[in-house]
Amino acid sequence: MTLAAAPKSEPEFDPMLQTAMRTSEELVSLMNAFFVRLDTRRSGDFISIADEINKAKSEIRSLRPQDISETRLPTAGAELLAITRDTENATNVIMTAAETMLGLDASAPDVKDRVDDEVMKIFEACSFQDITGQRVSKIVQVLTQIEQRVSRLAEAIGLDDASPPELTAEEKRQRDLLLNGPAIGGPETQQADIDDLFSADATSSDADKLNSQDDIDALFD
Amino acid sequence: MSRRVLILEDSRTQAIIISKMFQRAGYEAICVVDQADALAQLRTQSFGLLVLDVFIEARNTLDDLEVYREMAPQVPIAIMTAGQIDNPDAGATALNKARRARVNFLLPKPFFYDDVKQVCEDVDAFWTRNGAENSLSAAG
């Protein structure tokens, strides 16, 4: 005996439920297309951001920050120290020679020879200029390399200079009174003008006015 | 012989310093800043000593020693150099090369008046000896 297979029958749903299901399916289909478009756009944005990050990383890598901090800057620093040492030594020799000449007896028979000896010491002391020139060139070279790398990085990641920070009261005073040392091409007060202020008229009435820091500051305004 | 020294030095300050030292030692100092000027001077007057800096702009004077020897036969040559700060071996290399080329004097920078004075004394002795030999060979 064979058993006849039971006939398959579609489940009976409420027609309203079937309509709701069809509507839902159409809605899901519509939303799916929307989400696919949304994902694609966001995905593109994220890819673009990732590209920018990779580009920035690559530029930072080409900046070779470790080379700058471990090699270039210490080398430039060592050269600056050597310049300071050499100029200091030369200055001492020159001042000593000048002092010796000031102390010579002008009526002594060998005064010319002794002056010549001291002048020659001054010339010898100036020999440091040869190596110092090379040292300064090396420092300028390091600064130029760093400047080029930083400019390339700023350009690559689209950075503009921020507006300069507001000066503090002390910084303003230093700027206004030119207390930051000599600037190339001025506008510092000329040495001759300063010399005039402190020259022979120290006993004059003008000099008597130099009583306070404000009076002295006013000279440099 | 002439107590005149030709100084090839491209740093004006160094040229002044070196020429003052030779002047004090009793020499007339003529300073030039490149090889063209040096050769022009050698064509117009005689010198008792040539003092040549090694690194002049992009050139190495040691490569041109034969030119100087042809222009100023028998004239003693002193080679001076401070080396190159980017190449710490350059100074020693140059001085060894100069010695192998049998230049008469080596003056590593910085040098002092006493060094110049000694070179001048040796140059005077050289010309005294050389002049005597020339006289003997002329007499022979």
What pLDDT score does B136 carry? 47
- Cβ atoms of B117 and B25 closer than 8 Å: yes
Q: What is the pTM of this model?
A: 0.64
DSSP code of residue B110: S
| Per-residue pLDDT reduced to its tens digit, A24-59 | 888 888 888 787 777 777 788 888 888 888 888 887
pLDDT > 70: percent of chain A: 75
Residue A179's identity, in one-letter code, is: L
Q: How open is the CA angle B102-B107-B113, to the nearest 5 degrees?
A: 140
B118 pLDDT exceeds 70?
A: yes
**CB neighbour class for B69 (10 Å; exposed up to 12, middle 13-18, buried from 19):** middle
**Residue A11 pLDDT level (bands cut at 50, 70, 90):** low
ipTM of the complex: 0.78
pLDDT cut 90: percent of chain A above it: 26
Beta bridge partners of B29: B5
Instruction: Please name every residue paired with B30 in a beta bridge, in sequence order, or none if there are none.
Output: B6
Name the 3-class secondary structure at B136. helix
Give the pLDDT band (50/70/90) at residue B138: very low
Distance from CA of B133 to the nearest CA of A (A): 36
Residue B36 has pLDDT above 60, yes or no: yes
Q: pLDDT of A107-146, one tens digit each?
A: 999 999 999 999 999 999 998 888 888 889 889 999 998 8
Q: Please state the rounded mean pLDDT for residues B108-121.
A: 94
Q: Which of residues 58-117 of A touch B (CB under 8 A)?
A: 79, 116
Which residue of chain B comes nearest to A116, CA vs CA?
A: B24
Contacting residues of B for A123, CB less than 8 Å apart: 16-17, 20-21, 113
Q: Which residues in chain B are contacts of A137 at CB distance < 8 A?
A: 85
Domain harbouring B111, CATH code: 3.40.50.2300
By the 8 A CB rule, do A148 and B96 touch?
A: no
- Domain span at residue B8 reads 4-139
Question: Are the Cβ atoms of A129 and B14 closer than 8 angstroms?
Answer: yes
Quote the pLDDT of residue B139: 46
Residue A130 to residue B110, Cβ atoms within 8 A: yes
- Which run of H or E residues covers position B108? strand B105-108
Provide the pLDDT for residue A80: 94
pLDDT value of residue A181: 65
Closest CA–CA distance from residue A202 to any residue of chain B (Å): 37
In sequence order, what DSSP letters do the residues of B24-81 get, joined into one string?
HTT-EEEEESSHHHHHHHHHHS--SEEEEESEETTEEGGGGHHHHHHHSTT--EEEEE
**What does the block give as tokens for A149?**
């790398």
How many Cβ atoms are within 10 Å of A109's Cβ, its own excluded? 7
Q: Model confidence at B99, in pLDDT bands (50, 70, 90)?
A: very high
Give the strand pairing for B59-60 and B55-56: antiparallel
| Angstrom distance (rounded) from CA A19 to CA A200 | 112
DSSP per position, chain A: --PPPPPP-PPP--HHHHHHHHHHHHHHHHHHHHHHHHHHHHHHHHHHHHHHHHHHHHHHHHH-HHHIIIIIHHHHHHHHHHHHHHHHHHHHHHHHHHHHHHTS-TTSTTHHHHHHHHHHHHHHHTTHHHHHHHHHHHHHHHHHHHHHHHHHHHHHTT--PPPPPPPPHHHHHHHHTTTT---TT--SPPHHHHHHHTSGGGGSHHHHT--SHHHHHHHT-
C-alpha span between B138 and B140 (Å, rounded): 5
Q: Which two tokens stand for residue B103?
A: 């230049």
The total number of structural domains in chain B stands at 1
Span A208-215, average pLDDT? 59
CA distance B1 to B73: 13
DSSP H or E stretch at residue B4? strand B4-8
Interface probe with A: pick from B10, B17, B22, B111, most Cβ of A within 10 Å: B17
3-state secondary structure of B6: strand
Query: How far, in Å, CA of B7 to CA of B47, rounded?
Result: 10
Contact B55, B32 (CB under 8 A): no
Mean pLDDT of chain B: 90
